[in-house]
Structure 1
């Protein structure tokens, strides 16, 4: 993972519930986009599977996992 400013903060500052059930549903996209590590992503997938099981959210999380893996390969 790079140490660029946009990645310098810990992406686990928010809980999976805070990321996936914000007061404004439009914030879910931003919450997923600001996941920078696989541990946080896995926690969000587990939370979503246990609670809502929303297919569109799970797809977004899967896409973010692909992006994170690609970054790790760089």
Structure 2
């Protein structure tokens, strides 16, 4: 397994809580950036809507969804 594949599988193992509740915004941004599928993204949106409803985080998740959609085309 290559380093990239290993990193992808490691990042997909993170829960929405682990992605969205770190102590600083750089880690939150990294957690969002490493979302590589819509299922994980939807789980993170649901988590954020249920817990903190931070507009900035929801906007960043929306941007990531647009990026994932454009990668599919």
TM class by shorter chain equals: 0.7 to 0.9
**Deviating 4+ runs (over 3 angstroms):** none
Residues 12-59 of structure 1: CA distance to partner in whole angstroms, max 9, x if unpaired? 210000000013332000110000000000000000000000000000
Q: Distance in 1 between matches of 2:37 and 2:54?
A: 21
Instruction: Specify every segment of 5 or more residues in structure 1 that has no aligned partner in the other structure, as ranges.
Output: none
Matching residue of 1:22:
22
Q: TM-score normalized by structure 2?
A: 0.84
SS at 1:52's partner residue? Answer: coil
What is the match of residue 72 of structure 1? 72
Q: SS at the partner of 1:26?
A: helix
Instruction: Single out whichever of 37-46 and 24-33 deviates more from structure 2.
Output: 24-33
Give ranges in structure 2 of 5+ residues lacking alignment: none
Number of residue equivalences? 68
> How high is the TM-score relative to the length of structure 1?
0.83
